[in-house]
Each structure stands twice: as C-alpha cells, then as structure tokens.
Amino acid sequence: MKTNAILFGVATTVVCATGARAADIPLAAAPEPIDYVRVCDAYGAGYYYIPGTDTCLSMSGRVRAEYRVFAYDQAFREGNGFATQDRDFNSSQFRARGYLYMDSRTNTEFGLLRTYMNVYFTADDNDPIDVTLDDAYIQFGGFTFGRGQSFYDFTNYATYASVFTPQLSDQKTNLAAYTFAFGNGFSTSLSVEDAAARRTEIGGPYSTTVSYFSGGYDSNGGQVWITEQQGVGYGGTKYPDLVANMRVDQGWGSAQIMGALHQVWPGYRAEGTASSKVGFAVGGGVVFNLPFGVNTTMNVTGTYAKGATDYASTDTSGFYSPRGFVVEAYDATYNPSTGDIEMANAWSVSGGVGTQITPEFGFALQGGYFNLEDEVDSRNGFSNIDVQGDLTYSPGNIDGFQMGVGLEYRYVDPHEDGAGNGDAYAGYFRAERTF
C-alpha cells in the first residue's frame, strides 16, 4: 500500500511537471481570419472597405487623348507687330492626360469624414510632363479643409471646354470653409480662400522703365522690343479672400447666389499715398433639368466684379490680347495724379444647353461674354466673346467611354483706339475613358 502511494505521487509529479513544461512551450499560432476586400454599398457603386478598417474607399481614373488644331486672325497680329510670328506659332497640338481619383469615407459619431484627391498628368506635344494636384481636401461635420473648387463658383456649364474656358469663374484653390445644410436641398457656405489664386495685376506707370523682347519680328527680320514703364504690381498677401454662397439643389436643378471680398494691396513700387482697397464680386447662377430629351440641361451664370476681375472670368487671356499674346486683366491701376489706385470694373455672363440626342450621341453648346473697364487707362480695357460646341459619341453605349469632336471660337475686342481686334478658332478630336 505504501509502495502504491509512492508510485502515485511520483506519477503525479511527473504529469504536473510535464504539463508545466508544455505550457511554457509556445504553440504554432492559429491562422488569423483573412480580411477579404468587401463591397461597401453605403455610398454608391465602386466603394470597398479598406481591409481591417471601417473606411470605404473608391479609386477611379480617366485617360484622355486629344488632337487639336488652331487658326488665328492674321489682321489682328499685324496690328500688334506679330505679323511674321506664324512660323513660330503652333497650329496643331497633341495632348494626353491621365487622371487619378481617390475618395475615402468613414461614418463617425460626429458625422461623415471624407477625404478626396484628384491628380492629373498632362503631356502636350514633346513638352515635359506636367503634374497638377487639382483637389486634395478633407470634409468633416460640415467643414472643408484643403484644396478644392472655390465656393464662389457655379460651374455647371454644358460643354467639356477644351481650349477656351467659358467666361465664368472656375478656380481650384486652397481654402477652409463651413457649409450648413438647412434641409430640402438648401445650404449656405462661408469660406476663406487663397487671395493669391485670384490676383490678376495692379497696373499703372512707375518711374522705372523696362524693355523686353516681344517675341515678334519686323519686316526686315529684326527683333521687335517693347519699352514701357514698370507696373506697380501686387504686394505681399495680407488677408485671404472671404467668400459666401447660398444654394439649392433639387430635382428641377440647382441655383446659387454668391459674393466675395478681395484685398487689392499695391506693392512697394506704388508712389504717393496708394493704400489697400477692398474689391468685391457678386453673382448668381441657375441650371435647369429640362423635362424633354435625355439628360437635357440649360444653365445661366453671371458676375459683376470691382477690383476682383478673376471672379468674373477665370480665363481672360486666350492666345492674344490688345498688346500681344498675353493679356493683362488688371484688378486695379495706379493713378499718378492722385497717388492712389483705382479698381477696374468687370462683368461676365455665360449660358448653355446640353442633351443626349440618343443614348450614344450627345450635343452641347456654351457661350459667354466678358468685359473689363479700366477707369484710369482705357487702353487696358477689353472684351472677350467665347462660343464652344461639341458632339460626343459612345460606341455601343459602353460605360465610361466616349469620343467626340469640338469647335471653339473667341473674339477679342480691345478698347484701345487703333488696337486690332481679332478672332481665334480651335477644333479638336477627343477620346476618353473613365473607369
């Protein structure tokens, strides 16, 4: 009996010791469940959960190829000393562009957290590839931080403008904004935006003269040089632009009224008592979803600006101007007789229609007018008229793929006596796929 007890004790000790040693030996870890990419249907098609998170991500892109041709009024360039520049001017152009879009969304206890990024790469002819960060912003609880479309803009134009931008405000900029939604499609936004993105120029004479090659040649082949007094120009950025809008988005379409304040701050070259002034812009726009045809819309947008020209039209240049190929659309002009600056007046109106003629064919037409008046020097004033039209075709109604042709026209009318006005034309063929 005593022997059995001893054996039982030894056996128990051995078993316990063996169990303790086994517990100390790490076992092979069981494989973790694999986080497969799952479809996220909370925000529409194309979203997936990022593995291991509750964030939904959509990645998409676009590839575009364009072939362009240009024609310009010879009489206009002859009136500005560029008669022989035809040899150096591009009458045709190749373009390839690739877009990358990333959109992430996460529901939080404070509301939707969204980040959005849009980057595109452009190759024109044999030029170096240009990289553009078009959008990069965060939206959270009504706030927007980063780079995006200006909250002044109402860019519902019908056409895919290729060469001449319609005569309205269409500006990507750095900003911080808050949007309050009232419900039923009504909202209002207040935004502080990068003032430098909306600056054009402060003109006017200064005591220093500069000379530069115009890019043209005279009848004997000699270079044409321009000598002029150096303009005042803008000083450093002191305050951001203040932008506000009120808009409505409903089944019938959308409408918006908007306003902006813009500091006009002359640079150190301003003599006398020139001081800062506050420019402004006010505007409105509407787009109607018409009850006939397929995806038929009509839009109208207009702006009046004083000292804030870029709000009336983001593109006031074209390919030539009253004094050459680069227009100077001034915000203000220095007046040496008063030692102050006088702000320019600008206004624009743009409108268009677009429709799907059939599921495969679409048509759009857009037109606009811009006018700038300089109260100090009328020679700086000019007006632009633009018309764009395009016809698109989606073979077999393939999702995201279309080809199209477009024709665009610009008429530039300088207010300077004796300055030549003229016409510019652009045509293009485009093929693009969005995926």
Query: Mind listing the pLDDT tens digit for each residue in 163-216?
Result: 777 888 999 999 999 999 999 999 999 999 999 999 988 887 654 455 666 666
Contact 36, 29 (CB under 8 A): no
- Least confident among 132-146, 238-252, 389-403, 408-422: 408-422
Task: Give the bridge partners for 297, in sequence order.
Answer: 289, 354
pLDDT at 155 over 50: yes
CA 14 to chain centroid? 78
Give the model's pLDDT for residue 262. 98
Closest among 263, 345, 344 to 303, alpha carbons compared: 345
Contact 364, 159 (CB under 8 A): yes
Longest Cα–Cα distance in the chain: 132
pLDDT at 404 over 90: yes
3-state secondary structure (DSSP) of residue 308: coil
pLDDT at 340 over 70: yes
Give the model's pLDDT for residue 135. 97
Average pLDDT over residues 274-288: 94
pLDDT at 346 over 90: yes
d(CA 54, CA 57) in angstroms, rounded, equals 10
pLDDT at 328 over 70: no
- Least confident among 169-173, 324-328, 397-401: 324-328
Tell me the domains of the chain and their CATH numbers. 62-434 (2.40.160.10)
d(CA 386, CA 371) in angstroms, rounded, equals 12
Element counts in the chain: helices (H) and strands (E): 2, 22
Q: Which residue has the tokens 């009458």?
A: 91
Average pLDDT over residues 403-411: 92
Closest among 166, 180, 134, 200 to 303, alpha carbons compared: 166
Q: Identify the top-confidence range among 40-54, 72-86, 237-251, 330-344.
A: 237-251
Give the model's pLDDT for residue 391. 95
pLDDT band at 417 (very low <50, low <70, confident <90, very high): low
Give the model's pLDDT for residue 17. 42
Q: pLDDT: is 230 or 187 the higher one?
A: 187
Q: pLDDT: is 317 or 247 the higher one?
A: 247
Q: Which two tokens stand for residue 380?
A: 């700086």
